[in-house]
Amino acid sequence: KMKLAVLTSGGDSAGMNAVVRAVVKAAIIKGCETWIVREGYEGLVRGNGDSGDHRRQSLAEKTLTSPRELKTPEAPEEGFVHNLRYGDGELLKDGTSDHPGGRTLKGRYIVRVGWDDVRGWFSEGGTLIGTARSATFRTREGRLTATHNMIKEGIDALVVCGGDGSLTGADVFRAEWPGLVSELRQTGKISEEQAARHAHLKIVGLVGSIDNDMSMTDLTIGAPTALHRICESIDNINSTAYSHSRAFVLEVMGRHCGWLALMAGVSCGADFIFIPESPPDADHWADEMCKMIQSHRDVGKRKTIVIVAEGALDSKLQPIRSDHVKDILSERLGLDTRVTTLGHTQRGGRPCAIDRILPTLQGVEAVEALLEATPETPSYMIGVRENKITRVPLMDAVKMTREVADAINEKDFERAMSLRDPEFRE
Ligand code: F6P
């Protein structure tokens, strides 16, 4: 019986809960034991402390929680949200849990979950099991402890949902795993039998990120919702901008990727957009922007929207700063201009339909990929290309994503675009 754990890592994104729900439910249907890991890789490193393998604990000592409380292990006893149960039993029905309720999981990060624990999760924003950017897991020592904690719980398969950094971590972890296991065996921390059973780690990655910056997939989980948020904000800003005939400079997230800015610009009819992939001429962009905006004003446009991706650079690789853009619009065109940085409103909130459908389909695919995995098959990243759920070697996707970042740094934008989207070449 495969023992499968799922974690969310890096910046949260809408749809991560739908991933956890889909993975847990699909895995139960396929006969696996299911676990969640709180706080991303950090939870793997922290493990379950001295309580060790909870299956050895008496029933009375077993603890229940709503994963909403998981971030604060010290929280007092409280009722459940969603009537969530933490159970050994799969497919427990309401009111039939054999678990005492209400206590939080003090210091336990690797938690066995059942069907009902994830009920209704597809409509929840953020990630209910917590996420972190773990510094400890970046060290070999941290990964050794994580390996030990997983083996103590008997977990042999892992689903990681996160951005490129988190998936790079997954790739490193899988590659190192056999060495980590043999070190644990040599130091007597695990038995011969455990070492044999856990000789290989099955791991699969799902891309959860609002940035849509992963190569070899068309869409990352959370990006469509973030785009919706931006569009809503621009719609709101449009009405006030129109009223006062003002200009607004909107700064949007996306790290080194301009997808959110570009798509928001197209969706909302922005006047000018700055994205990292297409840096404007450092000496002329201000003239160009003013000319364009003035021409829009000349034909009677009462409002101006300029979108700046947070990672936007000019051709000399200097950041395009929203305040600077505002000053130019005010000073050169005499426009009454405001800056709005949308910030984390883009990241939070309920997932849109695409960010429920995609994680559900990909979550099921992830479980299937793990069940079919052999020591010879690569670890996969589950993606989507031309509306089809795909498996691509995690290593290739991670490598190509890094190469995109390098190409952008080297100002080789054509190469960057062709790596991000191989069809761009044709
Ligand atoms: O990668 C997701 C993202 O939201 C980026 O768009 C942004 O640059 C970054 O994370 C912000 O990270 P945080 O505020 O969590 O440190």
What pLDDT score was predicted for residue 193?
96
Choice between 66 and 334, residue whose per-residue pLDDT is larger? 334
CB of residue 253 inside a 6 A radius of ligand 1:
yes
What pLDDT score was predicted for residue 289?
98
What pLDDT score was predicted for residue 132?
83
Burial environment of residue 314 by CB neighbours within 10 A (0 to 12, 13 to 18, 19 or more): middle
Mean pLDDT value across residues 294-319? 95
Confidence of residue 107 (pLDDT cuts 50, 70, 90): low
Residues 48 and 54: their CA atoms lie apart, in Å, by 8
Mean pLDDT value across residues 418-425? 63
Choice between 390 and 76, residue whose per-residue pLDDT is larger? 390
Residue 58 counted as an annotated binding residue: no
Mean pLDDT value across residues 380-386? 96
Confidence of residue 84 (pLDDT cuts 50, 70, 90): very low
Cα 44 from chain centre:
17
Q: Which of 171, 211, 213, 355 is catalytic?
A: 211
pLDDT of 201 over the 80 cut: yes
For residue 148, the CA-to-ligand 1 centroid distance in Å is: 31
Mean pLDDT value across residues 90-108? 38
CB of residue 254 inside a 6 A radius of ligand 1:
yes
pLDDT of 68 over the 90 cut: no
What pLDDT score was predicted for residue 332?
98
For residue 11, the CA-to-ligand 1 centroid distance in Å is: 6
Residue 310 counted as an annotated binding residue: yes
Percent of the chain with pLDDT over 70: 85
Confidence of residue 105 (pLDDT cuts 50, 70, 90): very low
- Cα dihedral sign for 235, 238, 240, 243? negative
Mean pLDDT value across residues 230-250? 97
Residue 345 counted as an annotated binding residue: yes
pLDDT of 71 over the 60 cut: no
CB of residue 164 inside a 6 A radius of ligand 1:
no
What pLDDT score was predicted for residue 317?
86
| Residue 385 contacts residue 358 (beta carbons within 8 Å) | no
Burial environment of residue 84 by CB neighbours within 10 A (0 to 12, 13 to 18, 19 or more): buried
Residue nearest to atom 15 of ligand 1 (CA): 11
pLDDT of 62 over the 70 cut: no
- Cα dihedral sign for 381, 383, 389, 392? negative
Q: CA 384, 390, 391 angle in degrees (round to 5)?
A: 130
Q: Tell me which of 134, 161, 166, 253 to substitute to probe ligand 1's pocket, judged by most ligand atoms within 8 Å of the beta carbon.
A: 253
Mean pLDDT value across residues 332-359? 97
Say which range, 2-11, 68-77, 132-141, has the weakest mean pLDDT. Answer: 68-77
Percent of the chain with pLDDT over 90: 70
What pLDDT score was predicted for residue 88?
32
What pLDDT score was predicted for residue 424?
52
pLDDT of 278 over the 70 cut: yes
Q: Which atom from ligand 1 is nearest to the alpha carbon of 260?
A: 6
Confidence of residue 76 (pLDDT cuts 50, 70, 90): very low
Residue 228 counted as an annotated binding residue: no
Residue nearest to atom 8 of ligand 1 (CA): 255
CB of residue 355 inside a 6 A radius of ligand 1:
no
Among 270, 266, 340, residue whose Cα is nearest residue 305? 270
What pLDDT score was predicted for residue 97?
32
Residues 164 and 254: their CA atoms lie apart, in Å, by 13
For residue 55, the CA-to-ligand 1 centroid distance in Å is: 38
Q: What is the pTM of this model?
A: 0.86
Q: Which atom from ligand 1 is nearest to the alpha carbon of 347?
A: 4
Residues 147 and 155: their CA atoms lie apart, in Å, by 9
Helix and strand numbers, DSSP H then E, in the chain: 12, 12
Q: Which atom from ligand 1 is nearest to the alpha carbon of 311?
A: 8
CB of residue 210 inside a 6 A radius of ligand 1:
yes
Cα 191 from chain centre:
35
What pLDDT score was predicted for residue 329?
98
Distances (CA, A) of 220 to 121, 137, 327, 382: 18, 23, 35, 10
Confidence of residue 115 (pLDDT cuts 50, 70, 90): confident
Choice between 4 and 66, residue whose per-residue pLDDT is larger? 4
Choice between 60 and 283, residue whose per-residue pLDDT is larger? 283
What pLDDT score was predicted for residue 60?
27
Does residue 211 have an active-site annotation?
A: yes
Mean confidence (pLDDT) of the chain: 85
Confidence of residue 81 (pLDDT cuts 50, 70, 90): very low
Mean pLDDT value across residues 288-293? 98
Residue nearest to atom 10 of ligand 1 (CA): 11
Mean pLDDT value across residues 52-76? 35
For residue 255, the CA-to-ligand 1 centroid distance in Å is: 7
Residue nearest to atom 12 of ligand 1 (CA): 11
Residues 8 and 134: their CA atoms lie apart, in Å, by 12
Confidence of residue 322 (pLDDT cuts 50, 70, 90): very high
For residue 207, the CA-to-ligand 1 centroid distance in Å is: 15
pLDDT digits 0-9 by tens, 36-54: 998 899 989 988 875 444 4
